[in-house]
Amino acid sequence: MNKETKNKGLRVIPLSGAETVGLNSYVVEYDDDIFVIDYGVTFPAGESYGVDYLLPPLEWLKQNKKRIKAIIVTHAHLDHIGGIPFVIDELGYPPVYGSPFSVEYLKEKLVEAKKDKHTKLFVTGKDDVLTFGNIKVSFFHVTHSIPQAYGVCIETPEGRVVYTGDYKLDPHPINEQPTEMHKIEELGRKGVLVALADSTNAFEPGKSKSESEILENLMDIIKKAKGRTIIATFSSLVTRLGGVIEAAKKLNKKVLVTGRSLESNIKIATKIGYIHPQNGVLVSRKDLDKIPDNQLIILTTGSQGEPMASLTRIANNKHSFLSIKKTDTVIMSSSIIPNNVLEVQKLMDAIARRGARIVNSKLMNVHVSGHPNQEDMITMAKALNAKYYIPVHGFTSFASQHRLVLSEAGIPESSIFVPVEGGVFSFKDGIMVQEKKLEVEEVKVIEKTMLPTNEPLIADRKAMASDGVCAVTVVERKGQKPQFTVNLKGFAQADVTQEVMNSLKQRLSNNITSMKDDKAVKKSVYAVLGVYFHKKLGRYPVLAVDVVREG
């Protein structure tokens, strides 16, 4: 276990987000001060054994919580901000800083978690500078797929640490200005010691496409649609949501929004002035009978085939007031997360069975990433002109490819370090040294409860899933030998299971002939089970023993 550390000098620690997609959290530590940049949440991949969410490692932060000066939020995507409501109390409610949209979004999540009353939220503009003793924190606007995303510069006496956050170099973004390259270039001229940079699209050549191009394609599809246009996308793609609403204005069409997260994000974006829906553009359920199908756009969640999302319920006739029509055009305006390929296919099949037209990114450019491609990564790195680079965001292969891209562009490979989660980069007199990594473990959440680090629940569920459970009841009746009942579930097919249970009963009867003490009896039973299952069969079912005394 990591104990509280008292550092002198500058350390940069990618707590999480360096070996996985999502789950971003990074620490900048100078002397006794700690700054946490982002604290996200993600969903478990593959078989989760009931785990609903994963959070970045927490133990080291808890042990050092008195030294946390601030949590700095770069933008409002869940993989950067979603873990804060789970842990803000565990960290002693340090102040949280972010853009107007990020703060409004986080405020709603804190209300849901009932932690809003004690959390100190501060809105920071992109030109604001925060001062914490001899440390200054400044921001630069970056274009992403959500409003008011920031990159962050933490200026310490040892040097400047810059974190790009999620960004793209879109010359024609929707509803906002392009990434502030002039600020980034100015930081590069002043001198950047180390830059942590987005690696998400490290395998994508060229430049990332503009959101404006996607909107033009969407508008063309909407114009030609014979009936309703249903657009499914991530609720967090607020730039696209705003673009569709603007397109509806131009095309004199109406927009119906279905999905709680979509409605919430549009409400926040409208509140801060990012989206400007005119009266009558956004309509509700009660207005539907008055609107011809070819004048209606439906914005919905469910582009990943999530079972409870609006589009899935619409496609399966389980939505409260919407269903698919043959004249509908359904646009899947998002990339498919690899783990969701099968669910998305099931969804498209359900839509196709009802005769609607499906448009996805394989047919037309109806989605573009909010992250930089290779040429953009090179542009960013050269603008920052850092002494050291740490590629973050994504799997190790992403960071390694990012290093290759930069080195082939002329940046010395010796200055680019592929991190591990919990890795510690220490700086003294401008020289980087990699220290021993922290012991880190992601936090598992079931419903709204964070599991303790050593909680055996998930390990037990894994064991039950692979080898089942064996329950033994030992019954003692006065004047008789102990009797054994053995139940084995989820272990093997019926005939093998019966054979194992019979063998176990015989072994227990031969080895345990008296019952002086319940604790000793249980210990003896576990020993017999352990030898039989582990050494003889090489299997590890969950074991449960109960002792019953009668008479």
517 catalytic, yes or no? no
3-state secondary structure of 444: strand
Q: Would you tell me the crossing angle of helices 100-112 and 260-271 to the nearest 10 degrees?
A: 140
Counting every residue, how long is the chain?
Answer: 551
**In Å, what is the CA distance from 291 to each residue of 226, 286, 287, 288?**
14, 10, 7, 5
Decide: 484 and 474 in contact? Cβ < 8 Å. yes
3-class SS letters over 474-491? EEEECCCCCEEEEEEECC
Q: Give the angle 25-27-31 at the CA atoms, nearest 5°.
A: 170
Residue 15 CA to residue 422 CA, distance in Å, equals: 5
Minimal CA–CA distance to 542: which of 467, 486, 451, 473? 467
The catalytically annotated residue of 198, 328, 376, 467 is 198
The catalytically annotated residue of 75, 77, 144, 371 is 371
Main-chain phi, psi angles of 521, to 5 degrees:
-60, -50
Minimal CA–CA distance to 504: which of 514, 516, 515, 496? 496
209 by Cβ neighbours in 10 Å (0-12 / 13-18 / 19+) ranks as: middle
Strand spans (E) along 184-223: 192-198
DSSP symbols for 108-173? HHHHHTT-TTT--EEE--TT-EEEETTEEEEEEEEB-SSSSEEEEEEEETTEEEEE--S-B--SS-
Looking only at Cα atoms, what is the longest distance across the chain? 91
Q: Is the dihedral of CA 447, 452, 453, 455 positive or negative?
A: negative
3-state secondary structure of 358: strand
DSSP 535: I
DSSP 63: H
Structure tokens at 336: 């498919």
DSSP symbols for 299-315? EES-TT--TTSHHHHHH
Decide: 504 and 532 in contact? Cβ < 8 Å. yes
Strands 121-123 and 96-98: parallel
Structure tokens at 402: 């990012």
Beta carbons within 8 Å of 234's beta carbon, 6+ residues apart: 145, 301, 303, 334
198 catalytic, yes or no? yes
Report the catalytic residues: 198, 371
